[in-house]
Amino acid sequence: MKKKPSVYVWMLLPAVILFFSFHTLPVLQGIFYSFTNFRGYGVWEFVGLDNYIRIFNDRNALNAYGFTFQFAIVSTILVNIISLVIALGLNAKIKFHKTLRGIYFMPNILSILIVGFIFNYIFSIFIPEIAENTGLTGLTTSILGSPDHAWIAIVIVAVWQAAAFNTILYLAGLATIPQDLYEASALDGASKWQEFWKITFPLIAPFFTINMVLAMKNFLMVFDHIVALTGGGPGRATQSISLLIYQDGFAGGQFAYQSANAVIYFVVIVTISVFQIRILQKREVQL
Amino acid sequence: MKIGKTNWPVTLLLIAGTILILFPLYITVVNAFKTPAETAESILALPVEWTFNNFTTAIEMTNFFNAFGNSFYITIVTVVFTVLTNSLVAYAIARNMHKKAYKFLFYYLVSAMFVPFPIIMLPIVNQMSSIGLMNQNGLILLYIVYGLSFNVFLYVGYIKTIPKELEEAAIVDGCTRWGVFWRIIFPMLSPINATVGILTALWAWNDFLLPLVILSDRGDHTLPLVQYVFQSQFATNYNLAFSSYLMALLPMLVLYLFLQKWIISGVTQGAIKS
C-alpha cells in the first residue's frame, strides 16, 4: 500500500498552521520577550529573570493583583448566590415563566462596555443627585471617585451582567433533577430548607463547579467594565491586571516587563482554575 | 410537567427583581429622548416632548451607520467562516481520535482556552502590524482562529455521537471524504452550528479589547469602539451619549426579542459542554 497523506490532513493543515501562527507563536514570543528588556521597538537584550523579580517588588503590579483578586472573589461569590436564587425562583411554579427568563438573561447579550457607560452615569450623576435631594450625605459624591469604594461599583456592574449567564446555567442544572425526589421528600416531611441542602444543592453540584470556575476565570480577566467605569482610577486604585498589561505594555514602553507580568498572570489563572476544579469536584463526589 | 398551584409570592418577587435589570435601560431610553434642560429637572421622568435631535446628532458625530456596518460585516463574516471551518477541523479530529497525533492536536487546541488574552496581546499586535493586517479582515481572521479552541471542543463532542455507518455507506457509493462532510455531516450539525453561531456572534459583536488593539484605522471601528471614542470626547452631553448607547444596544436587543429562545438554549448548550 502506498502511504499518501490522508484527506483529513488537508482538512486540518490550514487551520493548524493559522492557529500556530496567530496563537501559539505569540504566546511563545510573549514568553521569550519576558526575558528581555524589549520596549516594543528598537534594540533589546536578554535580562534573564530581572523582569520577574521586579514584578514582585512593583507596587503597581502588586496593587493590580490585589485589586483583581478582591474584585474576582467578591464578584464570584455574589454572582453565584444571586444567580442560584434567581434560578430557583424561575424554576418554581410561576407565571410569565418565559418572559421573566428572557428578561433575566438579557444583560448577557449586551456589550459590557456600553452597559458600563450607562452605569457610570448612574453612579456619577444619578445616585449623587438622588442622595442630595433626599439628604443622604454619604452618597452625594460619586462612588467612582473614591479610591476605597470605586471597586464596589465595578462589582455591581459585573454581577449585574454575569448573573444572567450563571442563572441560565443553574436553571439547566435544576432541570436535570427528577421531580419525584421532591415528592418523596415532601412525604417524609422535609422542610424547604432541608430539601434545598439535601436534594437540590448536591444534585446541581457539577453546575456549581462550572459556575464557580467560569465566573472566577472571567472576573480575573476583567477589562471592559473598568475601562467604562473608572479607567483604572482614581489613581491606580481599580487597575486590573489586564488593564495594567494593556496600559503600560503599549503606552508605557514596558513591552517585555508586562510580558513577564502576563506570563505570571497566565500561571495564576491556570493554577486557580485547576485548584478550584480539584476542590469542588472532590466535594461533588463526597455528597 | 409541573402540577400544582402557581407560586404567586415567587412570581411577584421575580417581577420586582426585573426592575433591577430594566432600570438602567429605562434611564437610557428616557434620557435619549430628552434635552439636557429636561434631564436636569428630573432624570427619571418621561420626556415631555420626545425629541429625536439627540439621535440625529449622535448619528453624525459617531458616524453611526459606518460603525454599524463594520460591526455587521465583521460579525457576519466571522460567524459564517467560523461555522464552515471550525466544524471541518473538528470533524477531521473527531473521526481520528484513536490516533495519537489527532488526539494531541485536540488537546493542543482545547488547552489554549486557558491562555488569557493579555499574554498574546502585545506580540500579536506587533505581528499583525508587520504583515499589514491591522484592519477588519485581520480581526475576522483572529476571531475565526481563536474560536477554534472552544468550538472544536463543542463540535468534537457532538460529532462523536453521529454514527460512522452513514459515512461508510456513502463512501462505498463513491462519495469522497469531502463530499461526506459537506453533504452528510455538515447538515446534521445544524443544532451545534446554531450554538456556535450564536456564541460567536455575541462575542464578535460585543467584543471590545481585540478591536481596540487591532483596528488602527478609525473608519474600521466597531460599535463598542465608537462608543469608547465618543465617550472620551463628548462626555458632557449625557442625552447625546444615551441616544448613542441606545442605538448601539438596539440591534442586539431587537434580535434578542425575536430569537430569545434560540439564543438562550444555544448559550446554555455551549456553556454546559465546557
A 39-98: CB under 8 A from B: 40, 86, 89-90, 92-96, 98
Cα A17 to Cα B110: distance, rounded to the nearest angstrom: 16
- Is the pLDDT confidence value at A1 over 50? no
Number of C-alpha atoms within 13 angstroms, CB side, residue B161? Answer: 8
Minimum-distance CB partner of B21 among A103, A258, A262: A103
**H or E stretch at A32:** helix A25-33
Partner-chain contact A19 B28, CB within 8 Å: no
Minimum-distance CB partner of A105 among B115, B142, B264: B264
**Which residue type is seen at A65?**
Y
Helix residue spans in chain B (DSSP H): 8-32, 36-41, 53-62, 64-94, 100-111, 117-130, 136-159, 165-172, 177-179, 186-188, 190-206, 209-214, 223-233, 238-273
Chain B contact set for A220 (CB, 8 A): 116
Taken in order B215, B218, B222, B224, the sign of the CA dihedral is positive
So what's the pLDDT on residue A13?
A: 93
A194: its cell numbers:
432541608
**Is the bond leading into A147 cis (omega within 30 degrees of zero)?**
no
So what's the pLDDT on residue B274?
A: 64
Cα A16 to Cα A24: distance, rounded to the nearest angstrom: 10
User: Which of A4, A6, A7, A8 to mutate to probe the B interface, most B CBs <10 Å?
Assistant: A8
> What percent helix, strand, coil does chain A show, rounded to 5?
75, 0, 25
Looking at every residue in chain A, the average pLDDT score rounds to: 89
Give the closest residue to A168 by CA, choosing from B71, B75, B198, B146: B198
Chain A contact set for B88 (CB, 8 A): 11, 15
What residue in A sits closest to B123 (Cα-Cα)?
A26
Let me know if A72 is exposed, middle or buried by CB neighbors in 10 A (0-12, 13-18, 19+). buried
- pLDDT tens-digit map of A58-84: 999 999 999 999 999 999 999 999 999
A12 touches chain B (CB under 8 A): yes
Partner-chain contact B11 A95, CB within 8 Å: yes
B105: its cell numbers:
492536536
Partner-chain contact B145 A94, CB within 8 Å: no
Cα B121 to Cα A160: distance, rounded to the nearest angstrom: 27
**Which residue type is seen at B157?**
G
What residue in A sits closest to B2 (Cα-Cα)?
A93
**Range name among A141-150, A237-246, B1-10 with the lowest pLDDT average:** B1-10
Minimum-distance CB partner of B115 among A86, A171, A266: A266
How many Å lie between the alpha carbon of B239 and the closest alpha carbon of chain A?
11
Let me know if B219 is exposed, middle or buried by CB neighbors in 10 A (0-12, 13-18, 19+). exposed
- pLDDT tens-digit map of A77-98: 999 999 999 999 999 888 898 9
Cα A156 to Cα A78: distance, rounded to the nearest angstrom: 9
Number of C-alpha atoms within 13 angstroms, CB side, residue B74? Answer: 31
Partner residues linked to A36 by β-bridges: A46
Partner-chain contact B127 A263, CB within 8 Å: no
Partner-chain contact A40 B141, CB within 8 Å: no
A242 touches chain B (CB under 8 A): yes
Helix residue spans in A50-195 (DSSP H): 50-55, 59-91, 97-105, 112-121, 127-134, 150-175, 179-187, 192-195
Partner-chain contact A100 B15, CB within 8 Å: yes
Partner-chain contact B18 A16, CB within 8 Å: no
What residue in B sits closest to A113 (Cα-Cα)?
B224
Minimum-distance CB partner of A93 among B2, B109, B118: B2
A167: its cell numbers:
442563572
Partner-chain contact A125 B43, CB within 8 Å: yes
- Is the pLDDT confidence value at A286 over 60? no
Partner-chain contact A224 B208, CB within 8 Å: yes
- ipTM over 0.85? The verdict is yes
A176: its cell numbers:
436535570
Let me know if B65 is exposed, middle or buried by CB neighbors in 10 A (0-12, 13-18, 19+). exposed
Cα A86 to Cα A100: distance, rounded to the nearest angstrom: 10
Residue B164 near residue B96 (C-beta atoms within 8 A): no
Rg of chain A over CA atoms, in angstroms?
Answer: 24
Taken in order A279, A280, A282, A283, the sign of the CA dihedral is positive
So what's the pLDDT on residue A18?
A: 96
So what's the pLDDT on residue A3?
A: 57
- Is the pLDDT confidence value at A135 over 90? no
How many Å lie between the alpha carbon of A148 and the closest alpha carbon of chain B?
24
Cα A176 to Cα B106: distance, rounded to the nearest angstrom: 29
User: Which of B89, B119, B153, B200 to mutate to probe the A interface, most A CBs <10 Å?
Assistant: B119
- Is the pLDDT confidence value at A285 over 70? no
B 181-220: CB under 8 A from A: 181, 202, 205-206, 208-209, 213
Minimum-distance CB partner of A12 among B5, B24, B92: B92
pLDDT tens track, chain B, 274 positions: 445 688 898 889 999 899 999 999 999 999 999 888 888 788 888 888 888 888 998 898 889 999 999 999 999 999 999 999 999 999 999 999 999 999 999 999 998 988 888 889 989 998 999 999 999 999 999 999 999 999 999 999 999 999 888 888 888 888 888 999 999 999 999 999 999 999 999 999 999 999 999 998 889 999 999 998 888 776 678 888 999 999 999 999 999 999 988 888 888 888 877 6
Cα A263 to Cα B85: distance, rounded to the nearest angstrom: 30
